């Protein structure tokens, strides 16, 4: 039966939508583009930063900032003592110390790519990304070990959801390669169709269908200027040694009987090309000749040869995001990470996608599915 879209809850962007990448900066001719001017007169700097977290795995994040050369420019900022109070400053005043003293700390892009005489990282703060990228261009070097943080931003392009990593800070890091990482913290939305027995893959991965709320000026080719839900596919690994704990995690956090649940999760990005090692039987005849001549050993050849497979890009969930705070009596208390009944399923339906209207009252109609999993104990078979 059709259900009317009415009394819909206002969608709110989740409080957690962050990434953190630690590894070696890979700087090349495509990393920085400075002072590019568009046909409309918009002059901008762009950064597309690759960070190598493991051999063959480079994670990219980006930043862009600019100004119009043909009209006045303003910057929206937050008041120092009241983050909710917003006001504008002139673009020309963005480096005026008297103006900067009035701004909340969260307005600043923080870059730490220099050290002082004591070896301590020197932090440079910018209120506009245009200036931050110019500074990065002067100080970022290839193979620097960096810690990059920022926001995950979602959009729809050609019917596919794009996940961009927008940089808000870059610091030098002293981490060793074994601690390199590319992680995320994200508020996701789950409904009764987010999991099911058909999502268990033979490769030991479990697919989770979720949604993420983000602001959109455009949704595909439609101008919307509102918060919208984006559909994403996450992966939860299932290994034999962790099967029991993963089942409990799924049962507690991902099984939704009614409405929509919000869950804050931690995870990591898996990006790069799948590789496979060549065996002795696969060594080409030409290379066997090199071994015969003593130019290469068999071990050297096997170490060089890998099969480069298709590109992989996945968001792997590992655990719920746990935060600790103090209670009124100064005792540690765990903040919630699971919010049941955050929305109704109908709240996540986009009115502008439904062009057909009811002839009587002009309210958009849609069909509500009531499908449930046939086997309520399918988790036991993981």
Sign of the Cα torsion 222, 228, 229, 231 reads positive
The pLDDT of 82-106, averaged and rounded, is 93
Predicted local distance difference test score (pLDDT) of residue 273: 58
pTM over 0.85: no
- What DSSP letter does each residue of 121-148 carry, written as one string? EEEEEESSHHHHHHHHHHH--TT-EEEE
> Using CA atoms, how far apart are residues 104 and 190, in angstroms rounded to an integer?
34
**How do residues 8-31 score in pLDDT, each as one tens digit?**
889 999 999 999 999 999 999 999
The rounded distance, in Å, linking the Cα atoms of 178 and 250 is: 29
Q: Which residues contact 323 (CB under 8 A, 6 or more apart)?
A: 334, 335, 337
Q: Which of 52-66, 196-210, 273-287, 365-379 has the lowest mean pLDDT?
A: 365-379
* pLDDT for residue 8: 84
Note the pLDDT tens digit of each residue in 142-180.
999 999 999 999 999 888 999 999 999 999 999 999 999
* Bridge partners of residue 112, in order along the sequence: 171
pLDDT of 76 over the 70 cut: yes
pLDDT score of 280: 65
Q: Which pLDDT score, from 0 to 100, does residue 368 have?
A: 41
SS3 content of the chain, % helix, strand, coil (to 5): 20, 50, 30
| Predicted local distance difference test score (pLDDT) of residue 60 | 96
What is the arithmetic mean of pLDDT over 352-361? Answer: 54
Query: How confident is the model at residue 367, as a pLDDT?
Result: 44
Give buried/exposed letters for 75-87 (b at 16+ CB in 10 A, else e).
Answer: bebbeeeeeeeee
Query: Which bin fits 341, alpha (ψ -120 to 50), beta or left (φ > 0)?
Result: left
Query: Is the predicted pLDDT of residue 323 greater than 50, yes or no?
Result: yes
**Do 143 and 24 form a contact (C-beta atoms < 8 A)?**
yes
- The per-residue pLDDT for 302 is 62
The tokens 């991965």 sit on which residue?
205
Name beta bridge partners: 319: 266
- Looking at residue 243, its pLDDT comes to 82
State the pLDDT at residue 303. 60
Task: Give residue 144's pLDDT.
Answer: 97
Residue with more model confidence, 217 or 360: 217
List the chain domain ranges: 1-16+180-382, 21-176
How large a percentage of the chain has pLDDT more than 90? 63
Under the banding of pLDDT at 50, 70 and 90, the label for residue 286 is confident
116-120, 180-184, 197-201, 342-346: segment of lowest average pLDDT: 197-201
Contact of 22 with 180, CB cutoff 8 Å = yes
Residue with token string 């990228």: 133
- Which of 128-132, 203-207, 323-327 is predicted most confidently? 128-132
- Judging by DSSP bridges, how do beta strands 160-172 and 109-115 pair with one another? parallel
Half-sphere exposure of 304 (CA within 13 A, CB side): 9
Residue 73: pLDDT over 90: yes
Whole-number Cα distances in Å, 146 to 31, 130, 169, 170: 15, 20, 10, 7
Distance CA 222, CA 224 (A): 6
Could you read off the pLDDT of 301-319 as tens digits, one per residue?
A: 666 555 555 566 899 999 9
Q: How confident is the model at residue 328 (pLDDT cuts 50, 70, 90)?
A: confident
Note the pLDDT of residue 329. Answer: 79
* Residue pair 234/267 in contact by the 8 Å Cβ criterion: yes
Alpha-carbon distance of 250 to 347, in angstroms, equals: 24
Confidence (pLDDT) at 204: 76
**Average pLDDT of the chain to the nearest whole number:** 86
């Amino acid at each position: 039966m059709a259900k009317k879209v009415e009394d819909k809850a206002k969608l709110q962007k989740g409080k957690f939508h962050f990434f953190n990448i630690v590894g070696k900066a890979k700087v090349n001719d495509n990393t920085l583009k400075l002072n590019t001017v568009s046909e409309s007169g918009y002059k901008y700097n762009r950064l597309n930063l690759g960070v190598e977290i493991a051999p063959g795995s480079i994670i990219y994040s980006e930043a862009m900032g600019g100004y119009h050369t043909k009209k006045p420019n303003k910057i929206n900022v937050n008041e120092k003592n009241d983050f909710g109070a917003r006001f504008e400053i002139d673009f020309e005043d963005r480096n005026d110390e008297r103006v900067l003293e009035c701004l909340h700390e969260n307005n600043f892009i923080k870059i730490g790519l220099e050290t002082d005489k004591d070896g301590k990282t020197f932090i440079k703060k910018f209120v506009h990304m245009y200036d931050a990228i110019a500074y990065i261009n002067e100080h970022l070097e290839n193979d620097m070990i960096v810690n990059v943080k920022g926001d995950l931003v979602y959009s729809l392009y050609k019917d596919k959801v794009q996940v961009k990593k927008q940089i808000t800070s870059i610091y030098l890091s002293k981490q060793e390669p074994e601690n390199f990482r590319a992680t995320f913290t994200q508020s996701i939305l789950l409904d009764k169709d987010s999991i099911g027995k058909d999502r268990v893959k033979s490769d030991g991965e479990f697919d989770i269908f979720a949604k993420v709320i983000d602001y959109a000026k455009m949704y595909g080719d439609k101008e919307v200027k509102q918060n919208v839900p984006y559909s994403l596919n996450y992966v939860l690994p299932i290994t034999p040694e962790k099967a029991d704990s993963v089942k409990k995690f799924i049962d507690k956090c991902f099984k939704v009987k009614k409405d929509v649940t919000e869950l804050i999760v931690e995870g990591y990005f898996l990006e790069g090309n799948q590789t496979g090692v060549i065996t002795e039987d696969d060594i080409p005849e030409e290379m066997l000749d090199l071994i015969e001549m003593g130019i290469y050993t068999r071990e050297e050849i096997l170490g060089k040869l890998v099969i480069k497979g298709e590109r992989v890009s996945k968001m792997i969930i590992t655990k719920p995001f746990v935060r600790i705070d103090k209670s009124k009596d100064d005792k540690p208390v765990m903040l919630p990470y699971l919010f049941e009944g955050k929305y109704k399923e109908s709240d996540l339906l986009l009115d502008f996608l439904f062009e057909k209207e009811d002839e009587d009252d002009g309210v958009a109609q849609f069909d509500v599915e009531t499908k449930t999993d046939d086997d309520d104990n399918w988790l036991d078979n993981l």
